[in-house]
């Protein structure tokens, strides 16, 4: 019956859709896209805002209740605001969120608020300006920090800040976690994952000291660069004790920020924000996965780690809603019970929608 949430073959209710608005970005993060960006696409290869909104309306009738708009960097796309307004008008959709590097938030926050955006996730992998420039290739840390300020000022709730931790980068994870003490920011540390092919792999190890010019070396990824969440939490606690602070305390699920998803949350005593850990590699959360992904060119991906895709682009352009829903249901039926730790994926993270 329309409106009921579809279940996959493992009994999981599918209620969450991540939509990649674009595969382009104003940064070139080493774990997300090649240095020269993704290959250019013909205009007709990408879904229009109207086509994407129609897909959202159809799957809302199948039980989708939450939508996250991603990229690439969604704020560089002129499709974003009309798409967001159209999604906000779908009665079944309860929550709209956005993943961004934050650089354009100070300019666009008022329009995003008016269009119906509920909350934001902002990527911030380091507090060191030089390292930030190396990781993002084109970004400056003050851009992202101003984006965080804008998100708080415009009342997006909650404001989550995502950090991908790479062992050989030696990031100041305690410094990042400490941001949650004085401000209502929810830091989330994400384990390093093998996404992308071996020639231009995303989420790859980057050692600033390994190149003569000090450049990051993404081709040197290996599994030892994944820092398990339990180890990371101990590193943060040790640094907190050295600074005269108490250890992180676990939060009950009911006290976690909204849209908590796979993260497990902790808090410094008395802090205004929280510290979360997403253990995609060390502690799979597949049994509770309720999401699908739609790429910018119209492919439904049942799993981030699998290259299996189900394209709805031609069915959308033919106006064949029944066919679109058949393809969508087939994607749900092919959602695996759990992902494998793999060597890479055919698409880069920016082309999948992180």
| DSSP 8-state assignment for residue 252 | P
Q: What is the pLDDT of residue 352?
A: 62
Q: What is the pLDDT of residue 222?
A: 67
E strands in 93-158: 95-100, 119-123
Per-residue CA distances from 274 to 72, 89, 166, 279, 283 (Å)? 26, 32, 21, 16, 20
Q: Return d(Cα 282, Cα 306) in angstroms, integer.
A: 18
Q: What is the pLDDT of residue 171?
A: 93
Non-local (6+) Cβ contacts of 43 within 8 A are: none
pLDDT tens digits along 164-213: 998 888 999 999 999 999 999 999 999 877 655 544 444 333 344 344 44
Backbone angles phi, psi at 139, to 5 degrees: -95, 165
Q: What is the pLDDT of residue 204?
A: 38
Residue ranges of the chain with per-residue pLDDT less than 70:
1-3, 194-222, 260, 283-284, 339-354
Q: What is the pLDDT of residue 218?
A: 55
Q: Return d(Cα 39, Cα 106) in angstroms, integer.
A: 29
Q: What is the pLDDT of residue 211?
A: 47
What pTM was estimated for this model as a whole?
Answer: 0.89
Q: Return d(Cα 238, Cα 188) in angstroms, integer.
A: 18
Q: Return d(Cα 273, Cα 287) in angstroms, integer.
A: 27
Q: What is the pLDDT of residue 248?
A: 98
187: which strand partners? 161, 275
Q: What is the pLDDT of residue 206?
A: 39
Backbone angles phi, psi at 337, to 5 degrees: -65, -35
pLDDT tens digits along 278-307: 987 776 678 888 999 999 999 999 987 778
């Amino acid at each position: 019956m329309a409106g009921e949430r579809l279940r996959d073959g493992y009994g999981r209710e599918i209620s969450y859709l991540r939509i990649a608005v674009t595969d382009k970005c104003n940064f070139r993060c080493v774990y997300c896209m090649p240095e020269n960006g993704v290959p250019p696409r013909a205009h007709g290869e990408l879904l229009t805002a109207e086509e994407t909104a129609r897909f959202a309306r159809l799957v809302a009738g199948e039980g989708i209740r939450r939508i996250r708009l991603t990229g690439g960097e969604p704020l560089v796309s002129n499709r974003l605001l009309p798409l967001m307004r159209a999604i906000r008008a779908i009665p079944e959709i309860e929550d709209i969120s956005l993943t961004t590097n934050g650089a354009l938030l100070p300019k666009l926050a008022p329009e995003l608020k008016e269009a119906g955006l509920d909350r934001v996730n902002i990527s911030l992998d380091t507090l060191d300006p030089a390292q930030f420039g190396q990781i993002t290739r084109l970004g400056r840390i003050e851009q992202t920090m101003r984006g965080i300020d804008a998100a708080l000022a415009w009342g997006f709730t909650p404001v989550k800040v995502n950090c991908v931790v790479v062992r050989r980068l030696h990031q100041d994870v305690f410094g990042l976690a400490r941001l949650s003490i004085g401000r209502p920011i929810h830091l989330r540390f994400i384990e390093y994952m093998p996404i992308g092919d071996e020639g231009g792999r995303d989420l790859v190890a980057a050692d600033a000291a390994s190149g003569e010019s000090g450049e990051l070396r993404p081709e040197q990824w290996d599994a030892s660069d994944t820092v398990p969440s339990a180890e990371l939490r101990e590193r943060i606690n040790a640094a907190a004790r050295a600074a005269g602070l108490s250890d992180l305390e676990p939060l009950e699920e009911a006290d976690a920020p909204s849209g908590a998803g796979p993260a497990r949350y902790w808090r410094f005593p008395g802090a205004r924000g929280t510290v979360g850990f997403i253990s995609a590699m060390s502690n799979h959360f597949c049994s509770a996965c309720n999401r699908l992904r739609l790429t910018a060119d119209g492919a439904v991906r049942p799993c981030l780690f699998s290259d299996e895709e189900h394209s709805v682009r031609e069915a959308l352009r033919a106006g064949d809603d029944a066919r679109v829903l058949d393809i969508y249901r087939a994607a749900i039926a092919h959602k695996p019970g759990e992902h494998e730790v793999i060597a890479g994926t055919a698409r880069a993270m920016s082309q999948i929608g992180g």
